[in-house]
Structure 1
Amino acid sequence: MPTRSFLAMAALVTLAGCGGEPAARPDPSPASTPGARGEAQRIESIKADCMKSKGFRYVPFVRPETTGTQDDRKRAAGDYETLRAHRAKYGFGVSSILVHRDPGGGRAEMPENPNYAIRQDLSPAQQKTYAKTSDACEAQAIKQVTGETVTSADDWNLKRNVAVSRTLRRELDGDPELVRLATAMADCMRAKGHQITSISPMDMEEWGRMTFGRRLHELARKENPDIPAYDPENGQGYLPSRLTPAEQRQFLDQEVKAALDDLECGKDFRVAFRPKHDEVSARLWQE
Protein backbone atom coordinates (compact mmCIF):
# COMPACT_ATOMS: atom_id res chain seq x y z
CA MET A 1 0.00 0.00 0.00
CA PRO A 2 1.33 3.47 -0.73
CA THR A 3 2.54 5.79 1.98
CA ARG A 4 -0.36 8.04 2.90
CA SER A 5 -1.51 10.53 5.44
CA PHE A 6 -3.76 9.16 8.15
CA LEU A 7 -4.61 12.56 9.60
CA ALA A 8 -6.31 13.57 6.39
CA MET A 9 -8.94 10.93 7.11
CA ALA A 10 -10.30 12.53 10.25
CA ALA A 11 -11.21 15.87 11.66
CA LEU A 12 -8.20 17.50 13.11
CA VAL A 13 -9.58 18.18 16.55
CA THR A 14 -10.09 14.48 17.12
CA LEU A 15 -6.52 14.10 15.94
CA ALA A 16 -6.40 11.23 13.53
CA GLY A 17 -9.00 8.92 14.87
CA CYS A 18 -9.02 6.99 11.59
CA GLY A 19 -12.19 5.21 12.57
CA GLY A 20 -11.13 4.88 16.17
CA GLU A 21 -13.33 5.76 19.08
CA PRO A 22 -12.74 9.21 20.50
CA ALA A 23 -13.30 9.22 24.23
CA ALA A 24 -15.32 12.35 23.81
CA ARG A 25 -17.80 12.57 20.96
CA PRO A 26 -16.19 13.99 17.82
CA ASP A 27 -16.29 17.73 17.54
CA PRO A 28 -19.08 19.05 15.38
CA SER A 29 -17.80 19.42 11.85
CA PRO A 30 -17.91 22.83 10.22
CA ALA A 31 -21.19 21.84 8.54
CA SER A 32 -22.94 20.15 11.46
CA THR A 33 -24.81 23.13 12.92
CA PRO A 34 -27.76 24.80 11.11
CA GLY A 35 -25.95 28.09 10.54
CA ALA A 36 -22.78 26.36 9.40
CA ARG A 37 -24.70 24.09 7.02
CA GLY A 38 -26.30 27.10 5.40
CA GLU A 39 -22.89 28.70 5.05
CA ALA A 40 -21.44 25.52 3.53
CA GLN A 41 -24.32 25.28 1.06
CA ARG A 42 -23.77 28.89 -0.07
CA ILE A 43 -20.06 28.20 -0.54
CA GLU A 44 -20.77 25.09 -2.60
CA SER A 45 -23.27 26.92 -4.80
CA ILE A 46 -20.81 29.73 -5.51
CA LYS A 47 -18.05 27.21 -6.17
CA ALA A 48 -20.23 25.32 -8.66
CA ASP A 49 -20.90 28.54 -10.60
CA CYS A 50 -17.19 29.33 -10.57
CA MET A 51 -16.26 25.85 -11.82
CA LYS A 52 -18.88 26.09 -14.59
CA SER A 53 -17.43 29.42 -15.70
CA LYS A 54 -14.04 27.68 -16.00
CA GLY A 55 -15.48 24.88 -18.14
CA PHE A 56 -15.80 22.19 -15.46
CA ARG A 57 -18.83 20.38 -14.16
CA TYR A 58 -19.25 20.50 -10.38
CA VAL A 59 -22.14 19.33 -8.19
CA PRO A 60 -22.70 21.34 -4.99
CA PHE A 61 -22.22 18.81 -2.21
CA VAL A 62 -22.50 19.21 1.56
CA ARG A 63 -22.07 15.92 3.35
CA PRO A 64 -25.34 15.07 5.12
CA GLU A 65 -25.53 14.87 8.87
CA THR A 66 -25.47 11.37 10.30
CA THR A 67 -26.30 9.97 13.70
CA GLY A 68 -23.93 7.07 13.10
CA THR A 69 -24.57 3.44 13.88
CA GLN A 70 -26.14 2.21 17.09
CA ASP A 71 -22.66 1.28 18.33
CA ASP A 72 -21.41 4.78 17.50
CA ARG A 73 -24.14 6.24 19.66
CA LYS A 74 -23.45 3.81 22.49
CA ARG A 75 -19.75 4.67 22.45
CA ALA A 76 -20.55 8.36 22.40
CA ALA A 77 -22.79 7.83 25.43
CA GLY A 78 -19.93 6.05 27.23
CA ASP A 79 -21.33 2.48 27.16
CA TYR A 80 -18.47 0.49 28.62
CA GLU A 81 -19.06 -2.87 26.91
CA THR A 82 -19.43 -1.27 23.49
CA LEU A 83 -16.31 0.82 24.04
CA ARG A 84 -14.34 -2.23 25.16
CA ALA A 85 -15.43 -4.35 22.18
CA HIS A 86 -14.52 -1.57 19.75
CA ARG A 87 -11.12 -0.97 21.31
CA ALA A 88 -10.41 -4.71 21.40
CA LYS A 89 -10.59 -4.66 17.59
CA TYR A 90 -9.51 -1.15 16.58
CA GLY A 91 -7.39 0.06 19.50
CA PHE A 92 -7.22 3.84 19.29
CA GLY A 93 -8.06 3.62 15.59
CA VAL A 94 -4.61 4.47 14.23
CA SER A 95 -2.93 1.27 13.01
CA SER A 96 -6.21 -0.64 12.62
CA ILE A 97 -6.51 0.55 9.03
CA LEU A 98 -3.36 -1.44 8.21
CA VAL A 99 -4.93 -4.67 9.44
CA HIS A 100 -8.64 -4.28 8.80
CA ARG A 101 -8.44 -2.02 5.72
CA ASP A 102 -11.44 -0.32 7.26
CA PRO A 103 -10.97 3.46 7.47
CA GLY A 104 -14.49 3.76 8.85
CA GLY A 105 -13.62 1.61 11.84
CA GLY A 106 -17.09 0.11 11.77
CA ARG A 107 -18.82 3.47 11.45
CA ALA A 108 -21.88 4.12 9.33
CA GLU A 109 -21.17 4.52 5.62
CA MET A 110 -21.23 8.09 4.31
CA PRO A 111 -22.37 8.98 0.78
CA GLU A 112 -19.53 9.64 -1.64
CA ASN A 113 -18.98 13.09 -3.04
CA PRO A 114 -20.21 12.88 -6.68
CA ASN A 115 -17.40 15.17 -7.79
CA TYR A 116 -14.86 12.38 -7.20
CA ALA A 117 -16.35 10.44 -10.11
CA ILE A 118 -16.53 13.55 -12.27
CA ARG A 119 -12.84 14.19 -11.73
CA GLN A 120 -11.86 10.55 -12.31
CA ASP A 121 -13.46 10.64 -15.76
CA LEU A 122 -10.98 13.32 -16.86
CA SER A 123 -7.56 12.75 -18.38
CA PRO A 124 -4.54 13.01 -16.02
CA ALA A 125 -3.72 16.49 -17.33
CA GLN A 126 -7.33 17.62 -16.96
CA GLN A 127 -7.46 16.22 -13.41
CA LYS A 128 -4.54 18.43 -12.41
CA THR A 129 -6.21 21.49 -13.90
CA TYR A 130 -9.51 20.51 -12.26
CA ALA A 131 -7.83 20.26 -8.85
CA LYS A 132 -6.19 23.67 -9.16
CA THR A 133 -9.41 25.23 -10.39
CA SER A 134 -11.34 23.59 -7.57
CA ASP A 135 -9.00 25.06 -4.95
CA ALA A 136 -9.18 28.52 -6.54
CA CYS A 137 -12.97 28.45 -6.76
CA GLU A 138 -13.24 27.23 -3.16
CA ALA A 139 -11.03 30.05 -1.98
CA GLN A 140 -13.10 32.56 -3.93
CA ALA A 141 -16.38 31.20 -2.53
CA ILE A 142 -15.10 31.13 1.06
CA LYS A 143 -13.87 34.70 0.76
CA GLN A 144 -17.23 35.82 -0.61
CA VAL A 145 -19.28 34.09 2.12
CA THR A 146 -17.04 34.42 5.18
CA GLY A 147 -14.54 37.15 4.39
CA GLU A 148 -11.69 34.69 5.16
CA THR A 149 -8.64 34.65 2.88
CA VAL A 150 -7.55 31.04 2.31
CA THR A 151 -6.07 28.94 -0.46
CA SER A 152 -8.72 26.18 -0.46
CA ALA A 153 -11.42 24.53 1.65
CA ASP A 154 -8.76 22.27 3.18
CA ASP A 155 -6.75 25.33 4.22
CA TRP A 156 -9.89 26.94 5.69
CA ASN A 157 -10.87 23.82 7.65
CA LEU A 158 -7.32 23.36 8.92
CA LYS A 159 -7.16 26.92 10.22
CA ARG A 160 -10.51 26.59 11.96
CA ASN A 161 -9.66 23.20 13.41
CA VAL A 162 -6.37 24.49 14.79
CA ALA A 163 -8.12 27.49 16.32
CA VAL A 164 -10.72 25.23 17.95
CA SER A 165 -8.02 22.86 19.21
CA ARG A 166 -6.06 25.68 20.81
CA THR A 167 -9.16 27.08 22.51
CA LEU A 168 -10.09 23.62 23.80
CA ARG A 169 -6.63 23.29 25.28
CA ARG A 170 -6.79 26.70 26.90
CA GLU A 171 -10.17 26.07 28.51
CA LEU A 172 -9.95 22.37 29.40
CA ASP A 173 -6.30 22.21 30.41
CA GLY A 174 -7.01 25.00 32.88
CA ASP A 175 -9.87 23.16 34.58
CA PRO A 176 -8.68 22.10 38.09
CA GLU A 177 -11.01 19.08 38.33
CA LEU A 178 -9.96 17.76 34.92
CA VAL A 179 -6.30 18.27 35.84
CA ARG A 180 -6.79 16.24 39.04
CA LEU A 181 -8.51 13.39 37.20
CA ALA A 182 -5.99 13.45 34.33
CA THR A 183 -3.17 13.15 36.86
CA ALA A 184 -4.82 10.11 38.44
CA MET A 185 -5.26 8.55 35.00
CA ALA A 186 -1.60 9.15 34.18
CA ASP A 187 -0.53 7.48 37.44
CA CYS A 188 -2.65 4.46 36.59
CA MET A 189 -1.21 4.21 33.07
CA ARG A 190 2.35 4.48 34.36
CA ALA A 191 1.63 1.68 36.82
CA LYS A 192 0.68 -0.46 33.81
CA GLY A 193 4.01 0.30 32.15
CA HIS A 194 3.04 3.09 29.77
CA GLN A 195 5.19 6.15 29.26
CA ILE A 196 3.22 9.34 29.87
CA THR A 197 5.08 12.58 29.22
CA SER A 198 2.26 15.10 29.74
CA ILE A 199 -0.65 14.96 32.16
CA SER A 200 -2.68 17.89 30.81
CA PRO A 201 -6.33 16.88 30.22
CA MET A 202 -6.15 17.28 26.43
CA ASP A 203 -2.89 15.34 26.24
CA MET A 204 -4.28 12.53 28.37
CA GLU A 205 -7.33 12.40 26.10
CA GLU A 206 -5.12 12.13 23.02
CA TRP A 207 -2.00 10.33 24.25
CA GLY A 208 -2.89 6.99 22.64
CA ARG A 209 -3.62 8.31 19.18
CA MET A 210 -0.62 10.60 19.36
CA THR A 211 1.74 7.90 20.64
CA PHE A 212 0.87 5.31 18.01
CA GLY A 213 0.42 7.93 15.31
CA ARG A 214 3.94 9.17 15.96
CA ARG A 215 5.38 5.65 15.83
CA LEU A 216 3.76 4.92 12.48
CA HIS A 217 4.78 8.30 11.14
CA GLU A 218 8.42 7.75 12.06
CA LEU A 219 8.38 4.39 10.27
CA ALA A 220 6.96 6.13 7.20
CA ARG A 221 9.73 8.75 7.36
CA LYS A 222 12.35 5.99 7.35
CA GLU A 223 10.82 4.75 4.10
CA ASN A 224 10.54 8.24 2.62
CA PRO A 225 12.78 10.99 4.05
CA ASP A 226 10.77 13.62 2.15
CA ILE A 227 7.83 13.13 4.51
CA PRO A 228 7.66 16.12 6.89
CA ALA A 229 8.07 15.86 10.64
CA TYR A 230 5.14 14.61 12.69
CA ASP A 231 2.80 17.55 13.23
CA PRO A 232 -0.74 16.36 14.02
CA GLU A 233 -2.11 19.83 14.75
CA ASN A 234 -1.28 20.90 11.20
CA GLY A 235 -2.30 17.67 9.52
CA GLN A 236 0.98 15.80 9.19
CA GLY A 237 0.75 12.10 9.98
CA TYR A 238 1.60 9.24 7.62
CA LEU A 239 1.28 5.46 7.43
CA PRO A 240 4.25 3.27 6.44
CA SER A 241 3.83 1.14 3.32
CA ARG A 242 6.34 -1.68 3.84
CA LEU A 243 5.27 -3.42 7.03
CA THR A 244 4.60 -7.12 6.62
CA PRO A 245 1.16 -8.44 7.63
CA ALA A 246 2.74 -9.92 10.76
CA GLU A 247 4.32 -6.58 11.67
CA GLN A 248 1.04 -4.77 11.08
CA ARG A 249 -0.77 -7.23 13.33
CA GLN A 250 1.89 -6.92 16.02
CA PHE A 251 1.64 -3.15 15.93
CA LEU A 252 -2.15 -3.27 16.27
CA ASP A 253 -1.94 -5.80 19.11
CA GLN A 254 0.29 -3.39 21.05
CA GLU A 255 -2.13 -0.57 20.34
CA VAL A 256 -5.13 -2.64 21.45
CA LYS A 257 -3.49 -3.47 24.77
CA ALA A 258 -2.71 0.20 25.39
CA ALA A 259 -6.24 1.24 24.37
CA LEU A 260 -7.82 -1.21 26.81
CA ASP A 261 -5.54 -0.01 29.62
CA ASP A 262 -6.48 3.55 28.68
CA LEU A 263 -10.16 2.67 28.87
CA GLU A 264 -9.79 1.26 32.38
CA CYS A 265 -7.54 4.00 33.74
CA GLY A 266 -9.56 6.80 32.17
CA LYS A 267 -13.03 5.88 33.46
CA ASP A 268 -13.38 8.70 35.98
CA PHE A 269 -11.48 11.21 33.86
CA ARG A 270 -13.67 10.81 30.80
CA VAL A 271 -16.95 10.98 32.71
CA ALA A 272 -15.93 14.54 33.61
CA PHE A 273 -14.03 15.36 30.40
CA ARG A 274 -16.67 14.35 27.85
CA PRO A 275 -19.47 16.84 28.63
CA LYS A 276 -17.07 19.75 29.12
CA HIS A 277 -15.28 18.98 25.86
CA ASP A 278 -18.54 18.69 23.96
CA GLU A 279 -19.96 21.92 25.37
CA VAL A 280 -16.88 23.96 24.49
CA SER A 281 -16.55 22.34 21.05
CA ALA A 282 -20.19 22.95 20.11
CA ARG A 283 -19.97 26.56 21.23
CA LEU A 284 -16.82 27.21 19.22
CA TRP A 285 -18.23 25.78 15.99
CA GLN A 286 -21.33 27.92 16.35
CA GLU A 287 -19.38 31.17 16.75
Structure 2
Amino acid sequence: MRRVTWLLSLALISGCAAESTATPAPAKGPDPRPRMEQIKADCMKQKGFKYVPYITPDRPDPDLSSYEAMKTYRQKYGFGVFGQFVFPKDPLTGSIESDPGKNDPNRAISAKLNDSQHEAYNEAKDGCYQKAAKEVLKKEAESMLDGATLLRGAREELEATEIDGDPELVALASDMGKCLVGKGRRVSSTQPTTLAKRGEELFWDEMEKLGDNPHEMPDITPEQARPHLDKEVKAALEDLECGKEFYTRYAPKKASISARVWAEYGPLLGAF
Protein backbone atom coordinates (compact mmCIF):
# COMPACT_ATOMS: atom_id res chain seq x y z
CA MET A 1 0.00 0.00 0.00
CA ARG A 2 1.01 4.44 -1.24
CA ARG A 3 0.43 7.84 0.37
CA VAL A 4 -3.30 8.60 0.61
CA THR A 5 -2.02 11.88 -0.17
CA TRP A 6 1.44 10.59 0.46
CA LEU A 7 1.95 10.81 4.21
CA LEU A 8 -1.16 8.88 5.27
CA SER A 9 -0.32 5.94 3.08
CA LEU A 10 3.11 5.69 4.63
CA ALA A 11 1.47 5.66 8.03
CA LEU A 12 -1.00 3.01 6.94
CA ILE A 13 1.40 0.49 5.52
CA SER A 14 4.67 2.09 6.63
CA GLY A 15 5.55 2.33 2.98
CA CYS A 16 6.77 -1.20 2.47
CA ALA A 17 5.84 -2.54 -0.93
CA ALA A 18 8.67 -5.02 -0.52
CA GLU A 19 6.69 -6.41 2.38
CA SER A 20 3.34 -6.58 0.61
CA THR A 21 1.78 -9.99 0.36
CA ALA A 22 -0.93 -11.66 -1.60
CA THR A 23 -4.42 -10.38 -0.86
CA PRO A 24 -4.97 -11.12 2.83
CA ALA A 25 -7.45 -13.77 3.86
CA PRO A 26 -10.82 -12.23 4.72
CA ALA A 27 -11.94 -12.04 8.32
CA LYS A 28 -14.26 -14.78 9.51
CA GLY A 29 -17.91 -13.87 9.53
CA PRO A 30 -19.68 -11.04 7.66
CA ASP A 31 -17.82 -7.99 6.46
CA PRO A 32 -18.14 -5.38 9.26
CA ARG A 33 -17.62 -2.41 6.95
CA PRO A 34 -21.22 -1.96 5.73
CA ARG A 35 -22.40 -1.62 9.32
CA MET A 36 -19.59 0.80 10.09
CA GLU A 37 -20.47 2.89 7.06
CA GLN A 38 -24.13 3.10 8.07
CA ILE A 39 -23.22 4.12 11.62
CA LYS A 40 -21.00 6.86 10.23
CA ALA A 41 -23.67 8.09 7.85
CA ASP A 42 -26.27 8.28 10.64
CA CYS A 43 -23.77 9.95 12.95
CA MET A 44 -22.77 12.54 10.34
CA LYS A 45 -26.41 13.31 9.64
CA GLN A 46 -26.97 13.98 13.33
CA LYS A 47 -24.05 16.41 13.22
CA GLY A 48 -25.51 18.22 10.24
CA PHE A 49 -23.37 16.75 7.47
CA LYS A 50 -24.12 14.54 4.50
CA TYR A 51 -22.21 11.29 4.24
CA VAL A 52 -22.86 8.52 1.73
CA PRO A 53 -22.07 4.98 2.98
CA TYR A 54 -19.24 3.85 0.75
CA ILE A 55 -16.80 0.96 0.84
CA THR A 56 -13.63 1.54 -1.11
CA PRO A 57 -13.02 -1.32 -3.55
CA ASP A 58 -10.10 -3.50 -2.56
CA ARG A 59 -6.89 -2.69 -4.38
CA PRO A 60 -5.19 -5.86 -5.66
CA ASP A 61 -1.94 -6.51 -3.83
CA PRO A 62 1.05 -8.13 -5.49
CA ASP A 63 1.61 -11.73 -4.49
CA LEU A 64 4.92 -11.68 -2.61
CA SER A 65 4.23 -14.72 -0.48
CA SER A 66 7.06 -16.82 -1.96
CA TYR A 67 10.52 -16.35 -3.44
CA GLU A 68 9.23 -17.19 -6.94
CA ALA A 69 6.40 -14.67 -6.69
CA MET A 70 8.79 -12.00 -5.43
CA LYS A 71 11.10 -12.59 -8.38
CA THR A 72 8.26 -12.18 -10.88
CA TYR A 73 7.21 -8.93 -9.20
CA ARG A 74 10.72 -7.51 -8.93
CA GLN A 75 11.53 -8.20 -12.58
CA LYS A 76 8.95 -5.54 -13.49
CA TYR A 77 8.51 -3.31 -10.46
CA GLY A 78 11.77 -3.57 -8.54
CA PHE A 79 11.11 -2.84 -4.88
CA GLY A 80 7.83 -1.12 -5.78
CA VAL A 81 8.94 2.53 -5.74
CA PHE A 82 9.50 4.03 -9.20
CA GLY A 83 7.03 1.63 -10.82
CA GLN A 84 4.18 3.89 -9.72
CA PHE A 85 5.50 6.58 -12.08
CA VAL A 86 6.34 4.29 -14.99
CA PHE A 87 3.04 2.37 -14.73
CA PRO A 88 0.71 5.00 -13.19
CA LYS A 89 -2.53 3.17 -14.03
CA ASP A 90 -1.35 -0.24 -12.84
CA PRO A 91 -3.06 -0.98 -9.50
CA LEU A 92 -0.18 -3.21 -8.41
CA THR A 93 2.05 -0.14 -8.16
CA GLY A 94 -0.15 1.55 -5.58
CA SER A 95 -0.04 4.77 -7.60
CA ILE A 96 -2.34 7.67 -6.85
CA GLU A 97 -3.83 7.43 -10.35
CA SER A 98 -4.93 3.86 -9.61
CA ASP A 99 -6.44 4.82 -6.25
CA PRO A 100 -9.56 2.63 -5.88
CA GLY A 101 -11.19 5.27 -3.69
CA LYS A 102 -11.21 7.99 -6.34
CA ASN A 103 -14.94 7.42 -6.98
CA ASP A 104 -15.88 7.91 -3.34
CA PRO A 105 -18.83 10.38 -3.46
CA ASN A 106 -17.81 11.82 -0.10
CA ARG A 107 -14.73 13.37 -1.64
CA ALA A 108 -16.93 15.54 -3.84
CA ILE A 109 -19.12 16.44 -0.86
CA SER A 110 -16.20 17.61 1.28
CA ALA A 111 -14.58 19.42 -1.66
CA LYS A 112 -17.55 21.82 -1.83
CA LEU A 113 -17.07 23.00 1.77
CA ASN A 114 -15.31 26.23 2.67
CA ASP A 115 -12.38 26.22 5.09
CA SER A 116 -14.40 26.56 8.29
CA GLN A 117 -16.98 24.03 7.14
CA HIS A 118 -14.25 21.63 6.15
CA GLU A 119 -12.64 21.87 9.57
CA ALA A 120 -15.97 21.15 11.24
CA TYR A 121 -16.62 18.32 8.79
CA ASN A 122 -13.29 16.67 9.57
CA GLU A 123 -13.89 16.97 13.31
CA ALA A 124 -17.31 15.37 12.95
CA LYS A 125 -15.89 12.73 10.65
CA ASP A 126 -13.28 11.66 13.18
CA GLY A 127 -15.90 11.49 15.92
CA CYS A 128 -18.15 9.30 13.80
CA TYR A 129 -15.24 7.11 12.79
CA GLN A 130 -14.43 6.60 16.46
CA LYS A 131 -18.06 5.68 17.19
CA ALA A 132 -18.18 3.12 14.37
CA ALA A 133 -14.83 1.56 15.31
CA LYS A 134 -15.89 1.14 18.92
CA GLU A 135 -19.40 -0.18 18.26
CA VAL A 136 -18.52 -2.61 15.49
CA LEU A 137 -14.90 -3.61 16.04
CA LYS A 138 -14.54 -2.86 19.76
CA LYS A 139 -11.43 -0.83 18.87
CA GLU A 140 -10.46 2.54 20.34
CA ALA A 141 -9.40 4.56 17.30
CA GLU A 142 -9.94 8.31 17.04
CA SER A 143 -9.25 8.57 13.30
CA MET A 144 -8.19 6.51 10.31
CA LEU A 145 -4.60 7.51 10.99
CA ASP A 146 -5.00 6.24 14.54
CA GLY A 147 -6.42 3.00 13.16
CA ALA A 148 -3.40 2.68 10.89
CA THR A 149 -1.14 3.15 13.89
CA LEU A 150 -2.93 0.33 15.70
CA LEU A 151 -2.52 -1.95 12.68
CA ARG A 152 1.14 -1.11 12.32
CA GLY A 153 1.79 -1.66 16.02
CA ALA A 154 0.12 -5.08 15.96
CA ARG A 155 2.07 -6.08 12.89
CA GLU A 156 5.40 -4.92 14.30
CA GLU A 157 4.79 -6.80 17.53
CA LEU A 158 4.19 -10.05 15.67
CA GLU A 159 7.16 -9.45 13.38
CA ALA A 160 9.45 -8.85 16.34
CA THR A 161 8.50 -12.23 17.77
CA GLU A 162 7.97 -14.40 14.71
CA ILE A 163 10.51 -12.92 12.29
CA ASP A 164 13.24 -11.10 14.21
CA GLY A 165 12.97 -13.73 16.93
CA ASP A 166 13.38 -16.63 14.52
CA PRO A 167 16.96 -17.99 14.95
CA GLU A 168 17.03 -19.46 11.45
CA LEU A 169 15.93 -16.19 9.85
CA VAL A 170 18.52 -14.29 11.89
CA ALA A 171 21.26 -16.58 10.57
CA LEU A 172 19.97 -16.37 6.98
CA ALA A 173 19.77 -12.58 7.21
CA SER A 174 23.40 -12.47 8.32
CA ASP A 175 24.42 -14.51 5.28
CA MET A 176 22.37 -12.26 3.00
CA GLY A 177 23.97 -9.18 4.45
CA LYS A 178 27.46 -10.56 3.82
CA CYS A 179 26.51 -11.33 0.22
CA LEU A 180 25.24 -7.77 -0.36
CA VAL A 181 28.32 -6.22 1.21
CA GLY A 182 30.44 -8.43 -1.03
CA LYS A 183 28.66 -6.89 -4.03
CA GLY A 184 29.42 -3.40 -2.80
CA ARG A 185 26.01 -2.71 -1.28
CA ARG A 186 25.70 -0.86 2.01
CA VAL A 187 23.98 -2.83 4.78
CA SER A 188 23.32 -0.95 8.02
CA SER A 189 21.62 -3.84 9.83
CA THR A 190 21.03 -7.55 9.35
CA GLN A 191 17.97 -7.63 11.58
CA PRO A 192 15.56 -9.63 9.38
CA THR A 193 12.74 -7.08 9.17
CA THR A 194 15.18 -4.19 8.63
CA LEU A 195 17.11 -6.06 5.96
CA ALA A 196 13.90 -7.01 4.10
CA LYS A 197 12.96 -3.36 3.58
CA ARG A 198 16.49 -1.99 3.11
CA GLY A 199 16.26 -1.76 -0.67
CA GLU A 200 12.84 -0.18 -0.81
CA GLU A 201 13.75 2.48 1.74
CA LEU A 202 16.88 3.30 -0.26
CA PHE A 203 14.84 3.98 -3.40
CA TRP A 204 12.13 5.88 -1.51
CA ASP A 205 14.90 8.19 -0.31
CA GLU A 206 16.13 8.54 -3.89
CA MET A 207 12.62 9.27 -5.12
CA GLU A 208 11.96 11.91 -2.46
CA LYS A 209 15.10 13.79 -3.48
CA LEU A 210 13.54 14.36 -6.91
CA GLY A 211 10.73 16.49 -5.47
CA ASP A 212 10.62 19.99 -4.01
CA ASN A 213 8.48 18.97 -1.04
CA PRO A 214 9.16 15.79 0.96
CA HIS A 215 5.45 15.59 1.79
CA GLU A 216 4.34 15.44 -1.85
CA MET A 217 4.98 13.08 -4.72
CA PRO A 218 7.61 14.45 -7.14
CA ASP A 219 6.26 15.57 -10.50
CA ILE A 220 8.09 13.25 -12.89
CA THR A 221 7.02 11.61 -16.12
CA PRO A 222 7.17 7.89 -16.93
CA GLU A 223 10.12 8.65 -19.24
CA GLN A 224 11.99 10.46 -16.47
CA ALA A 225 11.27 7.67 -14.00
CA ARG A 226 12.28 4.80 -16.28
CA PRO A 227 16.08 5.03 -15.67
CA HIS A 228 15.42 5.04 -11.94
CA LEU A 229 13.19 1.98 -12.25
CA ASP A 230 15.78 0.15 -14.35
CA LYS A 231 18.34 0.81 -11.61
CA GLU A 232 15.82 -0.27 -8.99
CA VAL A 233 14.98 -3.53 -10.77
CA LYS A 234 18.66 -4.42 -11.00
CA ALA A 235 19.19 -3.74 -7.29
CA ALA A 236 16.00 -5.60 -6.34
CA LEU A 237 16.97 -8.73 -8.24
CA GLU A 238 20.47 -8.63 -6.78
CA ASP A 239 18.97 -8.28 -3.31
CA LEU A 240 16.67 -11.22 -3.99
CA GLU A 241 19.44 -13.48 -5.23
CA CYS A 242 21.62 -12.69 -2.22
CA GLY A 243 18.64 -13.43 -0.02
CA LYS A 244 17.20 -16.43 -1.85
CA GLU A 245 17.28 -18.69 1.20
CA PHE A 246 16.30 -15.83 3.49
CA TYR A 247 13.25 -14.81 1.44
CA THR A 248 12.15 -18.42 0.97
CA ARG A 249 11.60 -18.57 4.73
CA TYR A 250 10.72 -14.91 5.30
CA ALA A 251 8.04 -14.43 2.63
CA PRO A 252 5.44 -16.95 3.89
CA LYS A 253 5.94 -15.80 7.48
CA LYS A 254 5.40 -12.19 6.44
CA ALA A 255 2.32 -13.15 4.43
CA SER A 256 0.82 -15.00 7.39
CA ILE A 257 1.37 -12.07 9.76
CA SER A 258 -0.07 -9.57 7.28
CA ALA A 259 -3.19 -11.67 6.73
CA ARG A 260 -3.84 -12.12 10.45
CA VAL A 261 -3.33 -8.45 11.26
CA TRP A 262 -5.42 -7.31 8.29
CA ALA A 263 -8.27 -9.60 9.28
CA GLU A 264 -8.44 -7.89 12.68
CA TYR A 265 -7.55 -4.30 11.86
CA GLY A 266 -8.18 -3.98 8.13
CA PRO A 267 -11.77 -2.71 8.51
CA LEU A 268 -10.35 0.34 10.33
CA LEU A 269 -8.67 1.33 7.09
CA GLY A 270 -11.76 0.74 5.00
CA ALA A 271 -13.41 3.61 6.80
CA PHE A 272 -12.81 7.34 6.32
- Same fold? TM cut 0.5: yes
User: Does residue 52 of structure 2 align to residue 34 of structure 1?
Assistant: no
- Contact 2:129 2:143 (8 Å CA) reproduced: yes
**Structure 1 residue 47, shift from structure 2 partner:** 0.8
Count of matched residue pairs: 257
- Judged with a 3 Å threshold, the aligned counterparts in structure 2 of structure 1 residues 77 and 276 are, in CA distance, closer, same or farther, namely closer
Equivalent residue runs for 1:105-116 within 5 Å: 105=92, 110=100, 112-116=103-107
**Structure 1 residue 164, shift from structure 2 partner:** 1.7
- Judged with a 3 Å threshold, the aligned counterparts in structure 2 of structure 1 residues 155 and 24 are, in CA distance, closer, same or farther, namely closer
Aligned residue number for residue 165 of structure 1: 156
Q: Secondary structure at the match of 1:138?
A: helix
The 2-side partners of 1:65 and 1:282 are apart by: 14
- Judged with a 3 Å threshold, the aligned counterparts in structure 2 of structure 1 residues 12 and 202 are, in CA distance, closer, same or farther, namely farther
Q: Secondary structure at the match of 1:166?
A: helix
Structure 2: give runs of 5+ residues left out of the alignment: 265-272
The 2-side partners of 1:77 and 1:12 are apart by: 23
Q: Could you tell me the TM-score, scaled by structure 1's length?
A: 0.72
- Contact 1:12 1:162 (8 Å CA) reproduced: no
Query: What amino acid sits opposite 2:105 in the alignment?
Result: P
The 2-side partners of 1:246 and 1:260 are apart by: 22
The 2-side partners of 1:57 and 1:33 are apart by: 29
- Judged with a 3 Å threshold, the aligned counterparts in structure 2 of structure 1 residues 93 and 180 are, in CA distance, closer, same or farther, namely same
Equivalent residue runs for 1:199-238 within 5 Å: 199-217=190-208, 220=211, 223-224=212-213, 238=215
Q: 2:231 aligns with which of 245, 254, 260?
A: 254
Query: What amino acid sits opposite 2:254 in the alignment?
Result: H
Equivalent residue runs for 1:15-30 within 5 Å: 15-17=14-16, 20=17, 22=18, 25=21, 28=24
Q: Secondary structure at the match of 1:165?
A: helix
The 2-side partners of 1:5 and 1:194 are apart by: 32
**Structure 1 residue 195, shift from structure 2 partner:** 0.7
Query: What amino acid sits opposite 1:154 in the alignment?
Result: L
Equivalent residue runs for 1:146-185 within 5 Å: 146-185=137-176
- Contact 1:4 1:240 (8 Å CA) reproduced: no
Aligned CA-pair RMSD: 3.5
Structure 1: give runs of 5+ residues left out of the alignment: 228-237
Q: Secondary structure at the match of 1:198?
A: coil
The 1-side partners of 2:130 and 2:12 are apart by: 20
Aligned residue number for residue 265 of structure 1: 242
Query: What amino acid sits opposite 1:55 in the alignment?
Result: G
Give identity over the alignment, percent.
34
Aligned residue number for residue 230 of structure 1: none
Q: Identify the range of structure 1 (175-184 vs 276-285) with the bigger mean alpha-carbon deviation.
A: 276-285
The 2-side partners of 1:161 and 1:191 are apart by: 33
Q: Deviations over 1:149-180 (max 9, x none)?
A: 43212212222222322331232101011111
The 1-side partners of 2:4 and 2:35 are apart by: 31
Aligned residue number for residue 56 of structure 1: 49
User: Does residue 63 of structure 2 align to residue 92 of structure 1?
Assistant: no
- Judged with a 3 Å threshold, the aligned counterparts in structure 2 of structure 1 residues 242 and 49 are, in CA distance, closer, same or farther, namely closer
Query: What amino acid sits opposite 1:257 in the alignment?
Result: K
The 2-side partners of 1:9 and 1:210 are apart by: 15
- Judged with a 3 Å threshold, the aligned counterparts in structure 2 of structure 1 residues 127 and 119 are, in CA distance, closer, same or farther, namely same
Query: What amino acid sits opposite 2:181 in the alignment?
Result: R
- Judged with a 3 Å threshold, the aligned counterparts in structure 2 of structure 1 residues 101 and 128 are, in CA distance, closer, same or farther, namely farther
Query: What amino acid sits opposite 2:28 in the alignment?
Result: P
The 2-side partners of 1:148 and 1:101 are apart by: 35
The 1-side partners of 2:93 and 2:256 are apart by: 26
